[in-house]
Chain A
Amino acid sequence: MHANWKLVLAALRSGSSSFGQISKKAGLNIDAVGSACMAMGEVGAVKIEAKESESYALTGEGKKFLDEGFPEERAVAKLRAGGMAKLDGEERKIGIPWAVKNGWVKFGKSGPEVVGEPREYAMRKELAKVAGGNATAVSNELIKRGSVELKVRKNYSAEITAKGKQMLEGAGDEIGELTREVIVGNAWEKSKFSGYDVGATVSRSFAGRRHPLARLMLKIKTIFSEMGFEEMDGEIAESAFWNFDALFQPQDHPARDMADTFYLPGKACLPEKSLVEKIKKAHESGWHYEWSAKEAGRRVLRTHTTAVSARYVAAGKGKPSKYFSIGRVYRNEATDYKHLAEFHQVEGIVVWENATFRDLLGCLKTFYSKLGFEKIRFRPSYFPYTEPSLEVEVYFEEKKAWLELGGAGIFRPEVCIPLCGKYPVLAWGLSLERPLMLAKGINDMREIYRNDLGWLRNDKIGD
């Protein structure tokens, strides 16, 4: 006999019990009890009885209303704050009629006016009661509105039959759980093992996984290491000097605007005087304005990891080298499905007097091909610190479209020479999130940072 059958029958020896009680007595989970009882019911070992019970539960809308308030409550609050224009569709269509019905709002000459106070809204209190599982009755209005639903549940109980008792006695010498005593005491040679229902429901054992973005970073680290690149790193709070000035971005450049860049309080120290002087000279002769050390000393959240590259180019003093980094960058922008205020950049530089534009294209092509994007093309572009400049696009089969993945170019002599005295330096700054979105079929970039376990626990780590 199945081991679980035996445990369930033993638990029933003292009389009829609900599945929940059996689960406790037999030490089995409720699913296992259910599946054993149903199977034994079919062979007549137990008799099963089902009783219906009713309870109330919140619908999705009900949960939302509980968290955010009913549309009529929100409508009243917004009417007070600023008027009709602020109301969303739900608050207009559903909120206003209910607010009128509740006597909170009256229509005057100039439109709706607030006349009452939705404090301690009875419906909201009812929702809370339902959410707490303490509601035995609920007003009809809430059910009609679809905020609460009546759930009918079947409560099962089982009772052992005469046949069941016989089976339990007959199974006396079958081995249930395999223990040390069974193994070393040789009991397994004398008795049979009770069989298990191998189809019984068992809940999944969740593995720990790295986040898909972290896995992509590891993959990219491997690719660049294989291509001979050494990893560099830097801090997210940076001086305007390294983020902009060292990269030949004039101090009145629109990208340095308060609207695009997060500025931090305090002042940053500038690097050694000789370098500052060279940068100042490059700006003044290239862009024709008076360069300000004070402006360069402002602190920012770095807007690109090219700031890290600039530091490494300066520190390397022109020694031939290949570097990469992956890091967070910040833009003072509103977020939407394809723009974030914070995202990652995959950065790379090749410092070498013999490096060429074709080498730049080759590095990018090799990188993307190793990442799984075979079809790639380049488009002229513009960055103040590179020349030539380009945009990389990959062809995405599923969308039948070319998608932009990042920018690249050769640092201008006005950047390279003051920093390290050598020219050229190949450079790129690519998106980390976009290739992940393409690979995982994500349409909204914000999803990546939501950490939804439903997604993360089912993410295929073999991809």
Chain B
Amino acid sequence: MSAEKAREAIEALGMPVDEVTENGIIADITPNRIDLFGVEGMARAIASFVSGKANKYEVKKSDAKLIVDRSVKNVRPYIGAGIVKGVKINDALIRSLMQVQEKLHDTHGRGRRKVAIGIHNLDAVEPPFTYKAVEPRSISFVPLDMGEKLDLEQILERHPKGKEYAHIVREKKLYPVIVDKNENVLSFPPIINGELTRVDEKTKNLFLDVTGTSKEAVEIALNILACMLADRGGELYSVEVAGEIMPKLTGSEMTVACRDINKLLGTEIGESEMAKLLKRMGHSVEKKKNGAMKVLVPPYRSDVMHWVDLAEDAAIAYGYNNFEPTLPSLATIGEAKTNDPVAELMVGMGFQEAVNFTLTNPKSNFAKMNLDNKGGERMLNPLTQDFSMVRTWLLPSLLRNVFDNRNEKMPQRIFEIGECIEGGAGEGGRDEEGHDERENGGVQKRKLCAVITDSRAGFEQIKAVFEELKAELDLGAGLGEGAGTKVELRKTEHPSFINGRCAAIFVNGKEKGIMGEIHPQVLLNFSIEHPVVALEIGL
């Protein structure tokens, strides 16, 4: 197969190809297809896609047993195992195995917590094996890449992998190990294998172990490994794990009606054609009566949970871009929420709209505005200090805009209408009264802020804007009628504004906003050298 053909197939399977180089093809894999982490899985998927045939896997019976001791129940309860004979271990296989193992550990295994994999030289040990949990100091063995025998606690302290993954096992008093008939340690999962069972190019027969906290996740990882080694020419043999024969590579059966898939996709694909599409995605299909299809899902496809997953597979094989798009024939009446009438007024008064981030930090939101660092909806885990809280008001953002535009022509009239969160839990993770039982914490509010800056910007200029907004803002009742709505200004003091040049806006006796001349200290905090007047009001 040419690289170009392979590329086409990979793209048709839904993986965007970043690059085709002499050494290979680099493609993005979606995180649900953990069976495609290695070249073997990819080759298998491409082969089915092109040929329309699914691979079958056979597991021969062996006498090997793995005893699961009850002690692991509260430690790391699940284990799966398998034997692979006659596989030719070479560089390419080792690289691929390492890649698959690492990716399975990271994603599917959630950093080895949920699933961890061990691959061993079977001939160095002797079944039956035992999986048990032991006192950390009670067993010693030579871990991989170390020259001396260490006990389990010493491994956590000294071995690089021990240090990296210690947090997973340290939650429990006992640590899990896998030993053979003669108490030789194969592995201390999910930390490290023993040097004894190291796999190298001379190794002929492999023993696989997969341990974890979810039975399903453990078995899928085992199946993926077993299938990839079988694809490489290995012969699979079973291990009896606590009475259960593993690996089970029969796949899972699912019955789906062709018409259900057609109804979902909006298509009229015939049964044989549908079966062909599913086969190209690696499934085996058997037609039954009444348009039902018995689908055998391959043992490595953990993502197929429901018949809709098969519908997607059929759609992928059909080609997303081969569907004729239609519009839903559902008649509904469209309706957008009203635009801000206030925005129209502001634009009419010559104000330029700004759109700023709602994320900010206490320094900008409070300190630079001469306010105490109190309240606000703060994040528990901000990556950067720049974005560590949601703004409580808009004015600091607009002052920042004034500074950024210091070289643009004056006068500048800027406004923003946007979301803020007032209240909130504040710094300590709770609000002032210590409440933490809230549906949504702080209160989200939509606000308007307008600023004017010029060599001579004064209170009366912003008051003129207020007068214009007044008619619109006391709405509800509308212009003239009033219907009891009373908008008034009251003299107030606010640390961000000049004393005596600042007014609070009251609507029906409730404080809704503030306006005035910005305090020179605040201006200098923002490195602004011209006067700024501002108005901010809740909408």
Contacts and interface: CB of A to CB of B under 8 A. Distances in A.
Contact of B382 (A332, A363, A448): A332
Interface of B: 13-14, 16, 30-33, 107, 110, 114, 214-217, 263-267, 305-306, 308-309, 311-312, 315-316, 320-321, 323-337, 339, 343, 346-359, 377-384, 387, 390, 401, 404-405, 408-409, 412-414, 419, 421, 424-425, 428-431, 435-442, 444, 527
Contacts of B215: 288
A334 B441 contact: no
Given A356-B266, A357-B323, A454-B408, A265 B430 contact: yes
A448 B355 contact: yes
A228 B336 contact: no
A74 interface: no
B348 A208 contact: yes
B347 A210 contact: yes
A268 interface: yes
Given A231-B335, A266-B438, A390 B320 contact: yes
Contacts of A213: 355
Contact of B419 (A211, A236, A456): A236
Interface in A225-283: 225-231, 233, 235-239, 252, 254, 258-259, 262-269
Contact of B355 (A221, A269, A333, A451): A451
Contacts of B354: 211, 451, 456
A442 to B, nearest CB: 13
A267 B437 contact: yes
Contact of A342 (B328, B359, B381, B408): B359
6 contacts: A268-B439, A299-B441, A322-B334, A364-B325, A451-B405, A453-B414
Contact of A214 (B214, B349, B355, B438): B355
Contacts, number: 282
Interface string A398-432: 00000000000010111000000000101000000
B381 A263 contact: yes
Contacts of B267: 356, 358
A208 B413 contact: yes
A452 B379 contact: no
Interface of A: 67, 203-204, 206-211, 213-214, 218, 221-222, 224-231, 233, 235-239, 252, 254, 258-259, 262-269, 286, 288-289, 299, 301, 320-322, 328, 330, 332-334, 340-342, 350, 352, 354-359, 361-366, 377-382, 384, 387-390, 410, 412-414, 424, 426, 448-454, 456-457
B328 A254 contact: no
Contacts of A262: 379-382
Given A410-B264, A451-B355, A265 B378 contact: yes
A208 B325 contact: no
Contact of A352 (B263, B316, B328, B442): B328
B409 A206 contact: yes
A265 B429 contact: yes
B182 to A, nearest CB: 35
A380 B312 contact: yes
Interface of A is mostly: mixed
Contacts of B339: 218, 221
B428 to A, nearest CB: 8
A96 B516 CA distance: 47
A228 B329 CA distance: 11
Given A208-B351, A237-B442, 6 more contacts: A208-B348, A301-B390, A341-B383, A362-B328, A410-B264, A453-B414
A224 B334 contact: yes
Contact of B359 (A259, A267, A330): A330
Contacts of B32: 382, 384
A382 B31 contact: yes
A455 to B, nearest CB: 10
Contact of B390 (A237, A286, A387): A237
A387 B320 CA distance: 13
Contacts of B425: 264-266
B325 A236 contact: no
B30 A236 contact: no
Nearest to B110: A252
Contacts of A355: 328, 330
A362 B325 contact: yes
Nearest to B384: A334
B352 to A, nearest CB: 5
Tell me which of A208, A334, A352, A355 has the highest count of chain B C-beta atoms within 10 A of its own C-beta: A208
A233 B309 CA distance: 30
B379 A263 contact: yes
A358 B33 CA distance: 24
A225 B327 contact: no
A237 B355 CA distance: 19
A64 to B, nearest CB: 13
B512 to A, nearest CB: 20
A457 B347 CA distance: 12
Nearest to B339: A218
Contact of A226 (B31, B334, B437): B334
B405 A378 contact: no
B326 A359 contact: yes
Nearest to B331: A228
Contacts of A365: 325
Contacts of B335: 225, 230-231
Closest 4 CB pairs of A and B: A380-B14, A356-B266, A382-B30, A358-B266
Contact of A211 (B355, B380, B383): B355
Contact of A387 (B312, B382, B439, B442): B312
B332 A230 contact: yes
A457 B401 CA distance: 14
B308 A413 contact: yes
Nearest to B427: A265
